[in-house]
Structure 1
Amino acid sequence: FYGSHPWHWYFTQGLPVILGTHLPFFIHGCVLAPKRYRVFLLTVIWTLLVYSTLSHKEFRFIYPVLPLCMVFCGYSLKHLKAWKKPAASFLLLSNLIPALYTGLIHQRGTLDVMSHIQQLCNNSEHSQAFVFIVMPCHSTPFYSHVHCPLKMRFLQCPPDLTGNESYIDEADAFYSNPLGWLNKEFYNDTLLPSHLILFNVLEQEISSFLALRGYEKTATVFHTHLPQGRVGSHIYIYRRKTDTNY
């Protein structure tokens, strides 16, 4: 349902990625470690082999082997002698800086935008509001971050359980023709959402819909310095201009 990878993916990409800058120390430790540590290495290899039999693979599936890998990294550092402090400093900086960037800055917009949506709950007219998140499915949290019965919707991408080879989920159908999809879905003004949430890369493509249906941009939220594909650098919040604004 959710994609597949070649059998060797955990060995060629999965483990190297989650080890990151620890990888050379892990390899060095595996070479130096005495035989009594071999059981840890065999456990790591066995785990990777078992998970490699599954077609769907994810980094998080092999996180449990990281503590065992750190045993070998530690053994490597122990035997570096004069290079021990420089190596430890390298590991600290090479992990701390990316951790701070990815944890505090990178792709934070999909969380920050929920604070804007939550503010609608403080409005007495929130029962009339309708928020449509026009982004790749599951881009944002949902009611875990919005604590009121606010009407919300996002593009769906459920797996096909019917065996239909021509099956296209709602998100893919939308992105194949965003403007046409919106005009067809909201053929009547009474169906229109009061708020639209979208990545900036989509704005130009649906600009005529936004203008004709009376939407105005009310907020811009930073998301990432590294936009890619359907994911933009910023998130825009559009509100439909009516007699009563929410």
Structure 2
Amino acid sequence: VALRLANCCLVRTSFVPDEHWQSLEVAHRLAFGYGHLTWEWTAGLRGYTYPLIFASIYKTLHLLGRDSVQLLVWTPRLAQALLSAVADVKLYSLTKRLETQEVARWVFLCQLCSWFTWYCCTRTLTNTTETLLTTIALSYYPLEGSKSTNSMKYASLVALACLVRPTAIIPWVPLFFRHVWQEPAKHRLILHCFFPVGFVTLSLSLVIDRIFFGQWTLVQLNFLRFNVLQGVGSFYGSHPWHWYLSQGLPAVLGPHLPFFLHGCVRAPQRCRKLLVPVLWTLLVYSMLDHKEFRFIYPVLPFCMVFCGHSLSHLRTWRKPALCFLLLSSALLALYTGLVHQRGALDVMGHVQEVGCRSANLSSASVFMMMPCHSTPFYSHVHCPLPMRFLQCPPDLNGQSGYLDEADTFYLDPARWLQREFPNAALLPARVIIFSVLEEEIRAFLTSGNYERTAVFFHTHFPEGRTGSHIYVYERGPPGTEG
């Protein structure tokens, strides 16, 4: 628990928009009545079960009179840190039942020093909770050699993970088939365990979403139709079929990669069964065009079992191997947690500090001229400050040559701004941009009497529309040009 709480405090960077826009932003709107819902919510692709957890935390803080912006930002992440600690211990206890205590300790060490786990396990991503629930459920799964199994427990945890994110079912497909195949009372398992759990979970999902959508919505079916059958997810990028094998898994494993490969060879047959869900998950995700590192995060704890076996078999080279693993993992974890892509959070702290203290909020408007969802929104500001960002919903109507607002803006920023703000009265009080955009809109900034008031470092690896720094420009009073 102490380690994961420290982990939480040492991750002050942004990863992907979903950690805010599919959880905290929705929760803020539920709890406080204002905020922004992305297009997924109007299309019924996301369920309200997961953000409702954070909304409950927010509402409790509000009733206690403790809903400061700092507590709104950190309390959900502290909750994730505690759940992550539980998942770590469950992985250790599972390995201890299957193997010797020595192997379990090495697996536990590998889990704790995994750079990607450190980077993700305290974030409010659906992938994070999906991974933690999967790990806890695995400790109840009837693996060979396990002394304590509880089908209802693990099935309920898997069902809960699927409520958070439907893709949680993917690594469990081969495990479910294996359980049914080896179970003597197959009908009893299906009819008295899997079916009741599935029915109750689906009913709960339908009722919760019926309340908030105002109509019956099966978000799991919409999610499947959108991402798999229609393949609209490729709007946000596509990768070759081998990406997870050539880049995704090696990057997620990081310094653990050689130990994972070695462990796959040295692990006993009873543990190699855990390799099937890993390969199956990679296969399923490889068939989809849109790929991201976080999608395969749920199978990372499976991989740690093999890494632990590798270290347990090393004798002569154990000390140098451990030094390499711990040092390289620590450097990666600290750099990605404290340095890389931190500007997106720092700038919102600045907006909250200067914007929410304005006597007249309507005159303190903010426009984020950045790739859409580059920063958090009201969950990190917590006051009804007028804010706007460039929208980027995908084409859901099959229009030819479709361009979203962000793409249209970046085709010709100067012309877009001239059209959008034909007179000075419409100009926002503050403009937030990445450094790469500054020269392109220099004329707009000058004519609008904007002055740079803050600079925040973001990344050492600027790419495309994302710059190394984030600039905040504030509009001066009329008549102060020059």
Q: In structure 1, how many angstroms separate the alpha carbons of the residues matched to 2:244 and 2:358?
A: 49
Identify if the C-alpha distance between structure 1 residues 192 and 199 changes in structure 2 by more than 3 Å, giving closer, same or farther: same
Identify if the C-alpha distance between structure 1 residues 87 and 49 changes in structure 2 by more than 3 Å, giving closer, same or farther: same
| Aligned residue runs from structure 1 range 79-228, under 5 A | 79-119=313-353, 120-228=355-463
1:72-121 alpha-carbon deviations (Å, 9 max, x no partner):
11111111102112111111111111111111111111110011111211
- Deviation of 1:162 after TM superposition, in Å, equals 1.2
Q: Do residues 46 (structure 1) and 280 (structure 2) align?
A: yes
8 Å contact 2:450–2:476 — kept in the other structure? yes
SS at match of 2:356: helix
Q: Give the match for residue 74 of structure 1.
A: 308
- Deviation of 1:127 after TM superposition, in Å, equals 2.5
| Aligned residue runs from structure 1 range 52-67, under 5 A | 52-67=286-301
Q: In structure 1, how many angstroms separate the alpha carbons of the residues matched to 2:297 and 2:427?
A: 44
AA paired with 1:118? Q
Structure with the higher strand share, 1 or 2: 1
Structure 2 runs not aligned, ≥5 long:
1-231
How many residues align? The count is: 245
Sequence identity percentage? 65
Q: In structure 2, how many angstroms separate the alpha carbons of the residues matched to 1:55 and 1:232?
A: 26
Structure 1 runs not aligned, ≥5 long:
none
Q: In structure 2, how many angstroms separate the alpha carbons of the residues matched to 1:99 and 1:74?
A: 19
SS at match of 2:379: coil
Report the more deviating stretch, 140-149 or 51-60: 51-60
Q: Do residues 33 (structure 1) and 267 (structure 2) align?
A: yes
AA paired with 2:437? L
Q: In structure 1, how many angstroms separate the alpha carbons of the residues matched to 2:289 and 2:366?
A: 36
TM, length-normalised to structure 1: 0.94
- Deviation of 1:13 after TM superposition, in Å, equals 2.0
AA paired with 1:91? L
1:17-73 alpha-carbon deviations (Å, 9 max, x no partner):
111111111111111222222211122112222233333222212111111111111
1:120-142 alpha-carbon deviations (Å, 9 max, x no partner):
11121223221000111110000
Pick the aligned partner of 1:16 from 246, 250, 265.
Answer: 250
Identify if the C-alpha distance between structure 1 residues 125 and 243 changes in structure 2 by more than 3 Å, giving closer, same or farther: farther
SS at match of 1:46: helix
> Cα RMSD (Å) of the superposition?
1.7
Structure with the higher helix share, 1 or 2: 2
- Deviation of 1:243 after TM superposition, in Å, equals 5.4
AA paired with 1:217? R
